[in-house]
Amino acid sequence: MKITVLHGAFLPVPAIRGGAIVKAWDALSQEFVRAGNEVTQISRRCDGLARDEQIGQVRHLRVDGFDTVRNPILLKWKEFFYVWRARKVLPRADILVTHAFWAPILFSKKKYGRIYVHVGRYPKGQFKFYSKASRFQVPTQAIAEAVKSEIPDRGQSISVLPYPLDWKVDSMDNFSDRPQRILYLGRIHPEKGVYELIRSFKNIPSNIRRGWRLTIRGPWRTGQGGGGQNYMDKLKGAIKDCSSEIEILAPTFSSSELKKDLENTRLFAYPSLAEKGETFGLSVLEAMSCGCVPIVSALECFRDFVKPQKNGYVFDHRCQDIQENLSAALTKAILSPTENQVFSALCSQRAKEYELDRLSKKYLQDFSRLLAAKDS
């Protein structure tokens, strides 16, 4: 079948600027062509990338896009102009996968293929305008319920298919040989709870955290989805008196470097506070695949793979004193080396269910069911 993947206006493909969604669909696209399908990806042109090129067997078309901005109205207008430009190069296809806000409103399924909406963020009222969409693909059951609440009569059009891992899950080395390190990988933004993580780590009694190190790594610039210079200055101020224990590193978007980082870490902290932002938490799953034990907030999106006191730790982020709860979770994890050895093995075992080759087949089966349906 012919498949088009239309990405959003703000990140290029390949994922040289990061982005869980673009990384996932780029990996899936490569698997789709290996299975004998024809795939075209359309994404933002920037950083010297060509307007039209072939990478492997996947065709890449690029149109001018934008850096992200904080103003939500301006953000939507920027994406409108990007999608309008993309319309000029959009090929005819059987399936049009998109996570661009305007595409399900502006495009016709008769011309561009059955519209397969990837829901990468919590819905904000837009789904009632997506009457042209044939399928709504969501990464977790929690997001499925949120979408269904907006379009209750279209529950049969919702598919729950998670993001795939970017690598194979390998057998783990001895967990106890790893450095005593807690790692955060992701956007450095207030909604991710990074400042709260730093404060919580500092609140752990010094005799307990002695020998442990907290590493924070990710993009912080506003154009990359980060919190910007003021937020970065706030974090640097918070670690000034304990720079030997806490470090903030430059981002990397190399899968091999990320994997190496994770394989040299015991605990992975992801204290996101984004109640209506996180839809899956691919960073957490990637960490689990490398045997890291996760410490996460109680967001619904983590429930599909993080099980408290079975393969990780969950803290209540909705309470009045978030830092106290997070600090308690970090302390418990630090003081539980025997349990963590068991959790680590269970984490990598759970992550195998999300390997790329397994999930790509499920996506292709969903495409086939959609094409076989009489009225979609």
With beta carbons less than 8 A apart as the criterion, state whether 118 and 98 touch.
yes
Expressed in angstroms, the distance from the first to the final Cα of the chain is: 16
Q: Which is nearest to 153 in space by CA: 171, 130, 186, 179?
A: 130
* Rounded alpha-carbon distances, angstroms, from residue 68 to 65, 75, 172, 222: 9, 7, 38, 7
Q: What confidence tier does 181 reach under pLDDT thresholds 50, 70, 90?
A: very high
| Separation of alpha carbons 185 and 194, rounded Å | 10
Q: Which is nearest to 17 in space by CA: 254, 195, 249?
A: 254
- Digit-coded pLDDT (tens) for 131-140: 999 999 999 9
CATH number of 2-164+355-372: 3.40.50.2000
Q: What confidence tier does 171 reach under pLDDT thresholds 50, 70, 90?
A: confident
Give mean pLDDT, residues 293-315: 94
* Rounded alpha-carbon distances, angstroms, from residue 26 to 12, 151, 177, 287: 10, 29, 34, 20
With beta carbons less than 8 A apart as the criterion, state whether 119 and 148 touch.
no
Domain ranges in the chain are 2-164+355-372, 175-353
Give mean pLDDT, residues 208-223: 95
Structure tokens at 149: 């609440």
| 2-164+355-372 matches 175-353 in fold | yes
Structure tokens at 102: 């305007």
pLDDT averaged over the chain? 94
* pLDDT > 90? residue 224: no
The 3-class SS string of 215-255 reads EEECCCCHHHCCCCHHHHHHHHHHHHHHCCCEEEECCCCCH
Asked, as a colleague might, if the bond just before 162 is cis with ω within 30 of 0, I would say no
Query: Model's pTM, two decimal places?
Result: 0.88
* pLDDT > 60? residue 376: no
Q: What is the pLDDT of residue 375?
A: 60
The residues facing 118 across adjacent strands are 137
Structure tokens at 111: 């011309």
- Digit-coded pLDDT (tens) for 232-250: 999 999 999 998 999 999 9
| Separation of alpha carbons 27 and 9, rounded Å | 19
* pLDDT > 70? residue 164: yes
From the candidate CATH numbers 3.20.80.10, 3.40.190.10, 3.20.20.80, 3.40.50.2000, the one assigned to the domain spanning 175-353:
3.40.50.2000
* pLDDT > 80? residue 230: yes
CB neighbours of residue 311 within 10 Å: 22
